[in-house]
Amino acid sequence: MTELFGWGRFPKIQSRELTPKSEAELAAILRNSKSYIARGNGRAYGDSAINKNLTVTMTHINRFLRWNAKSGELIAESGVLIADIIDTFLPRGWFPYVTPGTKFVSLGGAIACDVHGKNHHKDGSFGNFVNWIDLINEDNQVLRCSRSENADLFRWTIGGMGLTGVILRCSIQLKKIESGWIKQRSVINNNLSESLKSFHENKDAQYSVAWIDCLATGKSFGRSILLLGEHAKKDEVKQKSAVFPKVRNQKFSLFFDAPGFLLNNFTVSAFNKLYFNFSKFMPSSCVDWDTYFYPLDSIGNWNRIYGKEGFFQFQCVLPEEVSLEGYTKLFFAIQKKSSGSFLAVLKDFGSGNGYVSFPRKGLTLALDFKASKINIALGKQLTDMVNDFGGTIYLAKDAIMEDVQYNPTFSKDEFLKYRNRFIKSEQSIRVKL
Sign of torsion over alpha carbons 127, 169, 181, 344? positive
**85 belongs to the binding site for ligand FAD (CB under 6 A):** no
**367 belongs to the binding site for ligand FAD (CB under 6 A):** no
Output the smallest distance, CB 415 to ligand FAD, in A: 14
Of 88-96, 98-106, 247-255, 285-293, the window that binds ligand FAD (rule: CB under 6 A) is: 98-106
Of 114-122, 183-191, 265-273, 322-330, the window that binds ligand FAD (rule: CB under 6 A) is: 114-122
Q: Which residue, 173 or 328, is less far from ligand FAD as judged by CB?
A: 173
**137 belongs to the binding site for ligand FAD (CB under 6 A):** no
Among positions 9, 15, 43, 74, the unique one binding ligand FAD when judged by CB under 6 A: 43
Beta bridge partners of 169: 77, 134
Reference 303, options 266, 257, 272; nearest CA is 257
Maximum C-alpha span of the chain: 62
Q: Which residue spans within 149-206 are E strands per DSSP? A: 166-176, 181-189
Among positions 78, 184, 269, 420, the unique one binding ligand FAD when judged by CB under 6 A: 78
- Between CA 415 and CA 422 the distance in angstroms is 15
Are 214 and 331 contacting, i.e. CB atoms less than 8 angstroms apart?
yes
Among positions 150, 338, 383, 425, the unique one binding ligand FAD when judged by CB under 6 A: 425
Among positions 5, 7, 154, 221, the unique one binding ligand FAD when judged by CB under 6 A: 7
**296 belongs to the binding site for ligand FAD (CB under 6 A):** yes
State the Cα angle at 406 between 401 and 410, rounded to 5°: 145
Are 57 and 17 contacting, i.e. CB atoms less than 8 angstroms apart?
yes
Output the smallest distance, CB 7 to ligand FAD, in A: 4
Are 196 and 223 contacting, i.e. CB atoms less than 8 angstroms apart?
no
Output the smallest distance, CB 105 to ligand FAD, in A: 3
Which amino acid, residue 22? S
**What is the size of the binding site for ligand FAD (CB under 6 A)?**
33
**352 belongs to the binding site for ligand FAD (CB under 6 A):** no
In angstroms, what CA-CA distances link 13 with 2, 16, 51, 52, 397?
Answer: 8, 10, 9, 7, 16
Among positions 44, 177, 212, 431, the unique one binding ligand FAD when judged by CB under 6 A: 44
Output the smallest distance, CB 135 to ligand FAD, in A: 8
**167 belongs to the binding site for ligand FAD (CB under 6 A):** yes
Which amino acid, residue 43? R
- Between CA 394 and CA 376 the distance in angstroms is 16
- Between CA 95 and CA 175 the distance in angstroms is 5
**430 belongs to the binding site for ligand FAD (CB under 6 A):** no
Contacts of 337 (CB under 8 A, 6+ apart): 374, 377, 378, 381
Q: Which residue, 105 or 215, is less far from ligand FAD as judged by CB?
A: 105
**98 belongs to the binding site for ligand FAD (CB under 6 A):** no
- Between CA 417 and CA 112 the distance in angstroms is 17
**Within 10 Å of residue 314's Cβ, how many Cβ atoms?**
29
Of 63-71, 112-120, 147-155, 406-414, the window that binds ligand FAD (rule: CB under 6 A) is: 112-120
Beta bridge partners of 3: 14
**424 belongs to the binding site for ligand FAD (CB under 6 A):** no
Output the smallest distance, CB 411 to ligand FAD, in A: 20
Query: Which residues of the shown chain bind ligand FAD in the complex (CB under 6 A)?
Result: 7, 37-44, 48-49, 58, 78, 100-102, 105-106, 108-110, 112-113, 115-117, 161-162, 166-167, 296, 396, 425
